[in-house]
Chain A
Amino acid sequence: MMHIGLFVPCYVDQFYPRVAIATLELLEKLGYRVSVPPDQTCCGQPMANSGYERYSKKTMELFVKNFASYDYIVAPSGSCVYHVRKHYDTLEQTPEVAHIRERTVDICEFLVNHCDKALPESNFPYRVGLHQSCHGQRGLRFGKSSEVVAEPFSIVRQLLESVEGIELVDLQRADECCGFGGTFAIAEEAVSVKMGKDRVQDHILNGAQVITGTDMSCLMHMEGIIRRRQLPLRVMHVSEILNHTHQHEPSS
């Protein structure tokens, strides 16, 4: 039987356990055997994107050690997955590293591209704005990006559309960056916050009650702005919506 290793990114582990729980429950409902390696920490992206890839090497090696034995490594985070697939090219390309780079997938990708079972039923009667995080959107091609000329598609939208009662709102700028960008959020605080404010505003103007996405880090950034400004919006990871079966207020 397929054995899945659940990768829970460092900040999700510490700040958003509910997202990891939802992802785990989803996979369990589908009948997969899922393990959570206890020694996992981080994929190494924070250092690497800040220009210190060399200080993330050992972190990346630990990731490989933790996850090399699984058939798939599933994570609720497009950007970490992108980092593993894209930037683990700087490690020695052992069979383990090659396996990891091939089999580390985002939960949405897994559900659409690698899982042949029917999704568990979910119900979410709210107006939802989809934030297409850049690393998933343009890095892993979860959907056609607005710059490219091609047939439109979006695996995340496809998943959300299967949820009962959901109403997906259209945005003015479908796939504009929210301005998180890892340490960019600190190094370029002013630009980052302005981008985040504009992004949140687009969702509000179009009547969203909830912003969802595949990357909790983007959502964390926007949530920070939403809470500071006390705006009538919640953020929820796509896994939480797919795993949502009760008809109560979306909780954060």
Chain B
Amino acid sequence: MSHPHKAQEFIANENRVNWHDKSLWHVREKRDKAVNLFPEWEQLREKASQIKSHTLSRLDEYLEEFEKNAIANGVKVHWASDAIEHNDIVLSIFREHGVQRIVKSKSMLTEECHLNPFLEKHGIEVIDSDLGERIVQLAKEPPSHIVMPAIHKKRMEIDELFQKHLHTPPSHGDENILTAAAREHLRQKFMKADAALTGVNFGIAETGDFVVCTNEGNADMGVHLAPVQISSMGIEKLIPRYEDLGVFTRLLARSATGQHITTYTSQFRKPRAGTEMHLILVDNGRTVQLGREKYRRSLHCIRCGACMNTCPVYRRSGGHSYQSVIPGPIGSILSPGRDMKKYSSLPFASSLCGSCSDVCPVKINIHEQLYFWRQDITQATNEEPAKKISMKMTGWLFTKPKWFRKAGKFGRKALAKLPRWMVYNSMNVWGKHRELPEPPKESFQEWYQKNRKNNG
């Protein structure tokens, strides 16, 4: 199903849309407050963008440096060219250690690889330990936002989910009771986990460290308790030097939630005595995107989610309408790179307002890339032949001024004279919820010919 259809379904419940829009706008406002306390914000964005461009221009070298340093620290480094390889690596590590139960934290990448169903198929219990992730996991839904995965769920719905799955008493959506219940439930899971899985926000080439930013501390909790740690990292998450880290942590937290810093910015370097630390470096389409110059900058993304919060389309259509692991503006430029046909409606799910590009802490030109994708998609896929023909005809009409004026005059007359039902029918998408402009008696050119003929 394409984005417009999914969006229409979501919009049918106007109260929910209003609530969804307000929740996200609230986060956008928190972000605005935080960044406005930061006079050098724009310089920092520029710096981050430059660091990312530079890193991507020599990604191979930095990756090798990173690998070398990580190995020297005692980390076991693996390379996965795609999702299947990634999942196989994870499974083989688990098999080796007889892992039955795992806790996971903060990883859109494992979502991207569809790791959960894969592991479950192989008899391994996977518990998403971040509250929002856990909620959507219980609801058997994908996350609808990369930072607030359950933002589409109302508290009462969460209450019901908890009653059903965690057997909690009804709390009427009381936040404290719900959080306490989740904590209690997760604690049990942490204690019993044989391994902990996390994502990675930043990998530092210079030292081989990697950094995981969380607000609930669940990544640490899992890692500190389990004998085996696996961290999955997209290869674009690399930054060259330790001193670059501050640039990004300052941008990330403020852009994501309006916090000055995420509650836990955990840096991992070497395994604790008696435990193993694995790091999987995942490509899964990233080098292909790197090779597309027009779209390369999309790899700057630090997954702060700010473009989703600000996007007027996302706020009103919900994350699930994008049907992609990464929704919203950034998802709309990343997803067609993976499957142009499947995601062909996404670059059109934007009014090209440009708010995403202005909010993005690493200055991705999202709205420009949306425009490029539109051109590429209509070239490469043969969908919507009617649109293609009408665009071709419109293009033709605009090169024939006399015909354009005749057509305009005819159209205006028809619009003024036709009975309403002939103008406002199912063919007229504009007119479903909007009036057409009232046709004036004469066009500007007609007026001009009469009144200013001798000018110019």
By a beta-carbon cutoff of 8 Å, the part of chain A in contact with chain B is: 8, 10-18, 20-21, 24, 34-36, 38-42, 44, 46-56, 58-59, 62, 87, 134-135, 138-139, 145-150, 173, 176-177, 179-182, 184-196, 198, 220-221, 223-225, 227-228, 252
- How many angstroms between the C-alpha atoms of A196 and B17 in the bound complex? 14
Which of B25, B312, B395 is in CB contact (< 8 Å) with A47?
B395
Determine whether the beta carbon of A14 is less than 8 Å from that of B408: yes
Q: Which residues of A contact B452 (CB under 8 A)?
A: 24, 36
Chain A: CB-nearest residue to B321: A191
By a beta-carbon cutoff of 8 Å, the part of chain B in contact with chain A is: 3-4, 7-8, 11, 14, 17, 21, 25, 32, 35-36, 38-39, 41-42, 310, 312-313, 316-317, 347-355, 357-359, 371, 374-375, 377-379, 387-388, 391-392, 394-399, 401, 404, 408, 411-412, 429-430, 432-440, 442-449, 452, 455-456
Q: Which residues of B contact A138 (CB under 8 A)?
A: 353-355, 357-358
Determine whether the beta carbon of B445 is less than 8 Å from that of A51: no
Which of A14, A24, A41, A184 is in CB contact (< 8 Å) with B399?
A41
Number of A-B contacts (CB under 8 A): 215
Determine whether the beta carbon of A194 is less than 8 Å from that of B17: yes
Determine whether the beta carbon of A44 is less than 8 Å from that of B316: no
Which 9 interchain pairs have the tightest Cβ spacing?
A: A181-B351, A224-B434, A35-B456, A51-B374, A55-B395, A177-B353, A51-B378, A134-B353, A17-B444
Chain A: CB-nearest residue to B439: A15
Which of B39, B312, B429 is in CB contact (< 8 Å) with A189?
B429
Determine whether the beta carbon of B388 is less than 8 Å from that of A52: yes
Q: Which of A8, A148, A196 has the most CB of B within 10 A?
A: A148
Determine whether the beta carbon of B4 is less than 8 Å from that of A189: yes
Question: If the complex has contacts A35-B456, A188-B349, are A47 and B445 also in contact, measured as CB distance less than 8 A?
Answer: no
Chain B: CB-nearest residue to A181: B351
CB proximity of A198 to chain B, nearest CB, Å? 7
- How many angstroms between the C-alpha atoms of A38 and B455 in the bound complex? 12
Chain B binding surface, main DSSP class: helix
Determine whether the beta carbon of B456 is less than 8 Å from that of A17: no
- How many angstroms between the C-alpha atoms of A177 and B356 in the bound complex? 12
Question: If the complex has contacts A8-B444, A14-B408, A190-B8, are A223 and B437 also in contact, measured as CB distance less than 8 A?
Answer: yes
CB proximity of A78 to chain B, nearest CB, Å? 12
Which of A41, A150, A195 is in CB contact (< 8 Å) with B398?
A41
Determine whether the beta carbon of B394 is less than 8 Å from that of A47: yes
Q: Which residues of B contact A48 (CB under 8 A)?
A: 371
